[in-house]
Amino acid sequence: MPGVLDGIRVLDYGRFIAAPWCSAILADMGAEVLRVEKREGGEDRWVQAVTESGEGGTFLQCNRNKRSLTLDSTTVEGTEITRRLVARADIVLANMPAAGMRANGLDYETLRAVKPDIILASATAYGEGGPYSDRIGFDGAGQVMSGAVYRQGLPDMPIRTVVPYADFGTALTLAIGVMMALYHRDRTGVGQHVEGALLPTALMLSNAFLIERELLQVDKPRMGNQGASVAPCDLYKTADEQWVLLQVAGQPMFKRWCRLVDRPELFTDPRFADDDSRWQHGDVLNGIMADWCADKTKAEVLGLLEKAKMPAAPLYSPQEVLDDPHIRAMGYLQRVPFPGASREVPIIETPFRMSATPGTIRRRAPLLGEHTDEVLGEIGYGAAEIDRLRAGGIV
């Protein structure tokens, strides 16, 4: 089945997550994505190693459906290779500071001189044009500077989220921007520069906290796993030493919960008149729920909550995620072989589904420089020239 982006060529100079996951989504949808990295490999290739050759788990996720070319793009000959690649590309993706973009010939003006309708998609930590624009930063910078970490964790200890949501969120917003730019180019013939950054992505996700602070002039305390604005809401321990999440919001749901825990009088208690009131007295409601769970197994708790149509879920270990029957039935994790991996790699599928043009994982992440000769041949280099480039440390 043809992909919706068949025929679109993408050069991926991205590292770690923001740009590579964006280009992975484009690749899932049919785009031809070429990952360009240093001869020794990009730093992100070797983080959290899980294979014999050292590739990391995030790398395997974010670089499926791509080919790999190694290149020193700062050399004269490397610059020429970059020029030829850009001349036949539709999109260039990168996440590096502006100075690095210029040094590698990846700034928008340089790219546009080669291909007038090129689309450049760049991801940075803080965005271009402000006092922090030259700073480098990873996902955690977006988290801690967005106000979110200030609100999460234990009362005496802020805790950032181990999942890099600012990175992956930036990848998704960048992918949306790229698709808008492609749509605009198809209508006008004009390319453009699409910018994404970790900080505004994190601000988007924590915006409600900022609105609350500005309008009410309050900062709610850190409350562990309890809800930020509703109650009962927490992780509750069951009799078999397991944990279950429950989140109650709105009057109908709260009324069902009162019946479930056999405390109907709570529904008319003025302390619990609405979500805000219930949050203010969350210790009372969470205590009742904790006691209700304490003499029941996880299976019993989840069964009763499901019967009462309450939004609950079990706390899973990574192995329990891999074994979950719904995740298996839905095919959310695709098993993909990789050289040197002890078993097939569970790679998340395209994070959305389309009925006519679905995304697919057609090939594993590439080995370092696996397609260098193939790609150079496609842009006009013969075998002898490729040997010379390799001997000279260009590729």
Tell me the pLDDT tens digit for each residue of 231-276. 999 999 999 999 999 999 999 999 999 999 999 999 999 999 999 9
Q: Residue 107 pLDDT more than 90?
A: yes
pLDDT tens track for 282-306: 999 999 999 999 999 999 999 999 9
Q: Residue 394 pLDDT more than 80?
A: yes
pLDDT tens track for 173-185: 999 999 999 999 9
pLDDT tens track for 325-357: 999 999 999 999 999 999 999 999 999 999 999
Residue 185: per-residue pLDDT: 98
Structural domains for the chain: 9-205+329-392 (3.40.50.10540), 233-316 (3.30.1540.10)
Catalytic residue among 12, 28, 107, 167: 167
Which three-class secondary structure string do you get for the chain? CCCCCCCCEEEEECCCCHHHHHHHHHHHCCCEEEEEECCCCCHHHHCCECCCCCCEHHHHHHCCCEEEEECCCCCHHHHHHHHHHHHCCCEEEECCCHHHHHHCCCCHHHHHHHCCCCEEEEEECCCCCCCCCCCCCCHHHHHHHCCHHHHCEECCEECCCCCCHHHHHHHHHHHHHHHHHHHHHHHHCCCCEEEEEHHHHHHHHCHHHHHHHHHHCCCCCCCCCCCCCCCCEEEEECCCCCEEEEECCCHHHHHHHHHHCCCHHHHHCHHHCCHHHHHHCHHHHHHHHHHHHHCCCHHHHHHHHHHCCCCEEECCCHHHHHHCHHHHHHCCEEEECCCCCCCCEEEECCCCCCCCCCCCCCCCCCCCCCCHHHHHHHCCCCHHHHHHHHHCCCC
Whether 373 is a known active-site residue: answer: no
Residue 103: per-residue pLDDT: 84
**Mean local confidence (pLDDT), 59-78:** 96
Mean pLDDT of the chain: 96
**Mean local confidence (pLDDT), 95-117:** 90
Residue 97: per-residue pLDDT: 78
pLDDT tens track for 136-154: 899 999 999 999 999 999 9
Residue 353: per-residue pLDDT: 96
Q: What percent of the chain has pLDDT over 90?
A: 95
Residue 99: per-residue pLDDT: 82
